[in-house]
Chains A and B, each alone.
Chain A
């Protein structure tokens, strides 16, 4: 049995933590939070590119480091701990992983080296309105290689260079690569629960679109991309949840009420213990997801759903109860609790809400157990 990060992976994780401690303190996060004109931190983005993280799992032939997915998970966990205000997930988990898994040689060569070099920001555009997007509700369409329709919301769509857009062509759903810096693309920046991440409405009116993967397989490809992304996002959620527990513990140990530290009261101790239990369940499920992702195992759909469900629950619980432990201070803008509360919502919504993944998990279990 060897179900943990290796020594090399731990070293990478420690280095990532040191780098982020130096380059992504809370002032960097708040610099984006408190400035409506900024949707990510450009300096941190450059630094992350220089560290090679954007190309961590991109093969060396395309300018990446060619590391495994477990290494990427380790980086994701550290980014989640510090609520990093950069379009990392959109660019790496969605676009780079999507192109790696489903792109042609030409598409890989065109996109991956630019991602690894920090020259290209990506995004995934599936949603068109409130509720779950499905074949019956998909209205964005491709005609003669041109894209028409509206996607809302698109995380990082306000700053992205290239989008993966779910659309139908001749009544068959497909996924399309779209250069967002062309005529025929309009963007509108939107207000979101988590202002440390950019969100936009993208309107396409005849933008050139190039299919990624097979025709008619749009939803399957999106799901395959989301399965991989779910594991990586779970590590970001886990990092955030761990930090919430640390912050709550630290505060409870320093705060006195009725002559004692509040950490000594069972109401607080049980709350922190509940956080720990949820975080460990999330960690174990995330590790299993990391294995399945790294090995391209057939278990990935189930492992990814379990990782996402457990991590979403852990981060939601830890972020809201950390506010509660901090009391009135936790409800202020100046204390950092709400950064995690906001990010917990962002991460739970961005690749589809937990209830969608619960349905997917059980459907997968049904299929697996039917045989």
Chain B
């Protein structure tokens, strides 16, 4: 075992560092400190993406011929690590380049690919993924957005929900129902759409955490050309699975404070019988969080090792969000309770750690739901990793229109 880079990896890392040192400084000098989710922040992000694309650091694993870096998955991981260390990395392109554009590449005709791939790599156009619906969350294939054939066009009506970045995206891939008379997985069809079309309306979702990072997207008689179809009519589910499989390996750490931050807090506070850090019950929790965090970190190392060896990572990476989301909620709550009565305060000017624990407490419930709930992830581990039998399914052979529905 060796935690160091191989000679080739080290060389790549050095090259990436050098490039980042030169370009990150220039980028910062040009743009300064910007608030996220502002037009300036977006402009800076696009500028940075273009610089990366010019140097082969955007879409590192894609062929150079289509604007990628012609590199390997481990190189992509290495660059990501160095980019994070350099304090850069914008989230706007992750879904588009990680999931949507690969789907376009897999299913669109050559003209369409030529039109869209390069501008996306360079950050000129941003894509979103329009799958989840009010009636299709964990069960995405239960979606109801209807696409009806009209000559050479399709007319689309319906609603998507929890669409990240819909308000700033230029294009999207949209999963629709084209045939309600067949079982649900068989009646779906995928399209790419222009998000600026007047028949597309984005409404921000007010989250319980106070923010508005996601959207509801409504389609009212949206007309798209049949040439915007990705894959065959009725093959939308297969296309969607390609999209979801292209989801990038999450190699970053979990968001929010961890055992280090709560340890720092405990050093500053008094507990019930002395310094909070000396409290035995807290120390046991701290040990558990450390073990979990390190377990996740080293699991990512195992994933990286597989990538480094040119292998496909195993299913061990699926444990990540189950641990991190629940740990964040428990850790944040423990910190807030450690502050005792004072823990109720949420103003960053007053609350310790600039209210990071209070903010995490309100964000963690969403993290346990987004991108696969705890329950769905456990089903995936049980059924796909451990090979246990699936639940009784009543929705496989029934026409979609005959399926019982509720809210």
Query: A: which residues have CB within 8 A of B?
Result: 126-127, 129-134, 136-137, 152-153, 155, 190-194, 199, 251, 254-261, 265, 267-268, 316, 320, 323-324, 327-335, 337-338, 341, 345-346, 348-350, 352-356, 358-360
Contact = CB atoms under 8 A, between A and B. Distances in A.
Nearest to B135: A256
Contacts of B407: 251, 254-255
A152 B375 CA distance: 40
Interface of B: 132, 134-135, 137-139, 142, 161-162, 205-210, 268-273, 276, 279, 281-282, 329, 333, 336-347, 350, 352, 358, 361-362, 365-366, 368-370, 373-375, 378-379, 391, 393-395, 398, 403-407
A265 B391 contact: yes
A254 B273 CA distance: 48
Interface of A is mostly: mixed
B36 to A, nearest CB: 20
A354 B338 contact: no
A130 B342 CA distance: 5
19 contacts: A131-B270, A132-B340, A153-B344, A190-B347, A193-B336, A251-B407, A256-B142, A259-B404, A320-B329, A320-B365, A323-B369, A324-B374, A328-B162, A328-B369, A331-B365, A332-B207, A341-B365, A345-B344, A355-B271
Given A153-B341, A257-B137, A355-B338, 11 more contacts: A127-B341, A132-B272, A191-B347, A193-B346, A194-B344, A254-B406, A258-B142, A323-B365, A333-B208, A350-B344, A359-B273
A127 B342 contact: yes
A26 to B, nearest CB: 14
B226 to A, nearest CB: 31
A144 B311 CA distance: 78
A129 B365 contact: no
A197 to B, nearest CB: 8
Residue of A132, A134, A194 with most partner-chain B CB within 10 A: A132
Nearest to A346: B344
In order of increasing CB-CB distance, the 8 nearest A-B pairs are A259-B395, A338-B208, A131-B269, A333-B206, A353-B337, A127-B341, A257-B139, A359-B272
Contacts of A331: 207-209, 365-366, 369
Given A153-B345, A332-B208, A324 B276 contact: no
A333 B271 CA distance: 34
A74 B106 CA distance: 64
Given A130-B342, A258-B395, A345 B270 contact: no
Contacts of B276: 131
A137 B270 contact: yes
Contacts of A254: 406-407
Contacts of B142: 256-258
Nearest to A256: B406
Contacts of A355: 271-272, 279, 281-282, 337-338
A256 B404 contact: yes
Contacts of B391: 258, 265
B344 A192 contact: yes
B270 A134 contact: yes
Nearest to B210: A333
B373 A191 contact: no
Given A132-B340, A258-B395, A268-B375, A190 B207 contact: no
